[in-house]
Structure 1
Amino acid sequence: MDKKDYKIHIIGAGLSGLIAAKVLEDKGYHPQIFEASDEVGGRIRTDEVDGYRLDRGFQVLLSEYPKVKQYLDLENLNVVELIPGAEIFKNGKISRIGDPTRDASLLFSSAFSGVASISDKWKIFRLYLDLKKKDLHEIFEEPETTTLDYLNKKGFSEKVIQNFFRPFFSGIFLEPELKTSSRMFRFVFKMFGEGKALIPKKGMGEIGRQLAEELIHTQIHFNSPVEKVSDSEIILKDGSRVQSHFTIIATEAAPLVDNLRNQQMPWNSCHCFYFTTRVERIKGRMIGLVADESAIINNIFYHSSIEKKVFIEHLISVTVVKPTELDKDALESRIRKELKELCDIEAEKLVGHYHIKQALPDIRPLQYEIMPTETRLNNRIFLAGDQLLNGSQNAAMLSGERAALGLIGVLEGGAVTAELTSEYL
């Protein structure tokens, strides 16, 4: 059978599914993707509302991710770089802290910031030097504890944990207690320390669009949610049946495969609100962190800073990671109150709200790597997605790549698998 005649299907057009399709195409196969929504990107999408671009949750792209370097064209994504630091809002005051080795403008504010003691700042620098010497595999082979336990054992003060580490990394892990694995903390700290935090000018959804535009022989079926996957058949929710030689499930597989029904993944959730405001309380492309313990707001970002224009109205996002029983209206009211009292920001028009119930997989234990053979559920079904490894864009792309290599290995034999694995590792 000719390679293009194999019926290879991918469930999900997120980063994992798109990378799996690219790897298959590169080796001569013509896969098809079934995507439940009307657009590619999965959890990384951008909507246009009233002339504003709204990412579905505040996210950044880290330039140092190995798979970002391999698969994305950052210049054509038209990315802008965030300032390597943060504005800290606490007790009605604002402090700026950052990395003066990469942005000299942060030297004075960081040196005299009350966010952290001199001892804490020295420990942060030592941690950066320690992680710079380690490769990613070493980090993910180290014993796991929680991020909070790790910071305490490293001797960081409660002051810097509460003022910086908790709000900053809660916004990344999407959980407020810093219970996420210390491996993930060290991985992300290293990636931020050695690379850049980037956002495409047209929003994070451009990442998926770029990957999709590179596919030549892949057909994507939008608005095609899948009900069930078996060895030789895919059943769509509209009752349609599709015969398949091989399937890559690039989303959570438990709801789709009978023998995985009781293995659903726990997820961290968040709320993201977008408001207009006439006040620019943060100068430049820098995240704002709310360090008051009683606050429900975790972080804010001025998305209007992405474009160098003079704005009458600025667009800000507000992220909430703490669990809450408040309904949307009550939550919006509390956010408006906290923005005014804690940040001196008057929120005006509500542009959009996202309650992202499955924002990040809550994975234990965490891994960096997965071999192509480990993605195989059986000889016909393969698994991909960041939930197999760690909650990152890098893990999503890596797992999609490995699932495609695993499938190709079954089709083409062990010698080819070894060749492909050495090429992509």
Structure 2
Amino acid sequence: MTDADVVVVGAGLAGLRCARALADAGRHVVVLEAAGHVGGRVTSDDVDGYVVDCGFQVLNPSYPAVRRWVDVDALGLGAFDAGVLVRTTSSLKVLADPRRAPHLAWSSLRDGLIDARDLVGLVRWMTPALVRPQSSATAPDAPLAEALDRLGVTGKERRILERFLAGVVVDPEGATSANFVRLLLRSFALASPGLPEGGMRRLPEQLAAGLADVRLDTSVVGVRAGGVDTDAGPIAARHVVVATGTGEAERLTGMPATEMHGLTTWWFAVPEPPDPRPLLAVDARGTHTPPGPVWNAATVTTAAPSYAPAGRHLLEATTLLARPDGSAGEPQVRAHLADLYRCSTDGWEVVAHHVIPDAVPAMPPPLRLTRPVEAGDGVFVCGDHRDTASIQGALVSGQRAARAVLAA
């Protein structure tokens, strides 16, 4: 006698997508989550009227999985502009996508952020991903830094690109698969990412809506053929899907864990945005790394006003744990932000500080778009660590695991 057809361990994006696909196929699914909320790493907290996500996260509506399985309109997405603020030695400038932010593109040309030779090389490098993304994913691969060296891209565009991407893939060394980076840049070229009204938690909450049996605050202590053991007792099931982080998945199934990259995010309440434009800011000074611990910053309320009380604003600043200054304290972060925006930070208040050692899976070359989801004995594994380090990867991984269960 079984208690369920399938037990899904973990209510992150992958687990929720897997559970929904199985429920839609008529399976009785029980979702178990150790935390008191759904979402896994995609979660938010309310702090004194502010909404702070667990790390700076954004939702890109161009992801195919998001278009297929998420009601983006219902999330009330507040989008950032298609560009970045760039701190140079002289001023804070804008590098914008001329196709999607023509009102900002002129300043990019005027301010000398674009070198014609570098631009031609980057366009040639990116074109296959824009036109034939699948063939781009399987092309010969290399670390990002090596790929840019081969292209001869050495100017300001390279520093801007590297600083921006380091915050996205949480890799300041340029060791990430160049093919994966091209697919990421393709998604940015197709749409501007944004933030749901009320925080990134609204995404997993939407995915969980309608699931009949989601049990929070329930820890799984063991997985076996025919069910799981929880802190509340055993649950029998024909199949088990482990949809946890990679470390917990290794503990429960024995599947080797993948390398993870870590970051910290500082959240500041600010009376006014240091720059009014809904753009991510990066520091392009310094030859190899920024002259301070902050790799990107953004006043998130310029895109999503719901993140702060009326009349107030919320700013995020991200540091990378792989760097010696990744664990920098508040004084160093404030000093860098003051230099980045050329403003005083005296009136800024720390709302939250998140240290996230396992923020995203590493994506070294050669790019592997998928990893096995079958662990044997009716046990399956899913998560962004089985596909790609993105919301797209998490959702697709959950769907793949559901298909594997249905075919078993």
Q: Does 2:176 align with 1:180?
A: yes
Distance in structure 1 (CA, Å) of the matches to 2:339 and 2:16: 44
Distance 1:102 1:170, change over 3 A: same
Deviation at residue 308 of structure 1 after TM alignment: 5.6
The within-5 A match list for 1:218-367 is 219-236=213-230, 238=231, 240-252=233-245, 255=248, 261=254, 263-292=256-285, 293-307=290-304, 312-323=311-322, 331-347=329-345, 348-364=348-364, 365-367=366-368
1:110 corresponds in structure 2 to: 108
Distance 1:199 1:255, change over 3 A: closer
Gaps of 5+ in 2: none
Distance in structure 1 (CA, Å) of the matches to 2:392 and 2:400: 12
CA contact (8 A) 1:279 1:345 kept: no
Alpha-carbon displacement from aligned partner over 1:125-170 (angstroms, at most 9, x marks no partner) = 44444322113x21221122111111121221243212x1111100
CA contact (8 A) 2:226 2:237 kept: yes
Distance in structure 1 (CA, Å) of the matches to 2:297 and 2:275: 10
SS of alignment partner, residue 244 of structure 2: coil
Q: AA paired with 1:233? A: G
Percent identical pairs in the alignment equals: 24
Distance 1:311 1:128, change over 3 A: farther
Deviation at residue 311 of structure 1 after TM alignment: 6.1
SS of alignment partner, residue 62 of structure 1: coil
2:23 corresponds in structure 1 to: 25
Distance in structure 2 (CA, Å) of the matches to 1:31 and 1:387: 23
CA contact (8 A) 2:156 2:284 kept: no
Q: AA paired with 2:385? A: Q
Distance in structure 2 (CA, Å) of the matches to 1:186 and 1:37: 34
SS of alignment partner, residue 289 of structure 1: strand
CA contact (8 A) 1:140 1:183 kept: yes
2:6 corresponds in structure 1 to: 8
Q: AA paired with 1:139? A: S
Task: From 80, 98, 101, give the equivalent of 2:99.
Answer: 101
Distance 1:8 1:299, change over 3 A: same
Distance in structure 2 (CA, Å) of the matches to 1:295 and 1:327: 10
Distance 1:368 1:263, change over 3 A: closer
1:420 corresponds in structure 2 to: none
For these two proteins, the number of residue pairs brought into alignment is: 399
Deviation at residue 105 of structure 1 after TM alignment: 0.9
CA contact (8 A) 1:128 1:193 kept: no
What RMSD over aligned residues (CA atoms) do the two structures have, in Å?
2.4
Deviation at residue 327 of structure 1 after TM alignment: 9.4
Deviation at residue 31 of structure 1 after TM alignment: 0.5
Distance in structure 1 (CA, Å) of the matches to 2:118 and 2:207: 41
Distance in structure 2 (CA, Å) of the matches to 1:313 and 1:278: 5
Task: From 198, 211, 223, give the equivalent of 1:202.
Answer: 198
Higher mean displacement: 305-314 or 183-192: 305-314
Gaps of 5+ in 1: 411-425
CA contact (8 A) 2:45 2:51 kept: yes
